Amino acid sequence: MGRNKRNIRYYEKYSIPPLKLQFESGYEAFTTQEQWIRVLKTGEVVITTSNPYPLYTMQAKEWQRGYDIAYFEKQGELIFKSRFK
């Protein structure tokens, strides 16, 4: 028989693309102009981009991490620009 039998979950982790791709996808989702934008009755603009991966998976977490980093980088740029006008 086989010397080293591994369960199916061991091989599942190798059947998905590297997490770097999900991170870059999340980063790009925030930085592109093709986000889903909703304008409220009050005139405020709300961005409603959603995560394309199933909840509670590593892919979803990496996508969210990329999206969050892009968001905070943008916030840092805005703060920097407002301080040194």
What are the residue boundaries of the structural domains of the chain, listed by start? Answer: 17-83
Give residue 78's pLDDT.
Answer: 74
Give residue 77's pLDDT.
Answer: 79
Euclidean distance between CA atoms 64 and 68, whole angstroms:
6
pLDDT tens, position by position, 19-51: 899 999 999 988 887 777 778 899 888 877 888
Which has the closest alpha carbon to 66: 17, 13, 30? 30
- The answer on pLDDT for 64 being more than 90 is yes
DSSP state of 50: -
Q: Can you list the positions of beta strands (E) in the chain?
A: 37-39, 45-47
Over its C-alpha atoms, the chain yields an Rg (Å, rounded) of: 19
For residue 18, report the phi and psi dihedrals to the nearest 5 degrees: -60, 150
Per-residue pLDDT band at 68 (split at 50, 70, 90): very high
Give residue 8's pLDDT.
Answer: 59
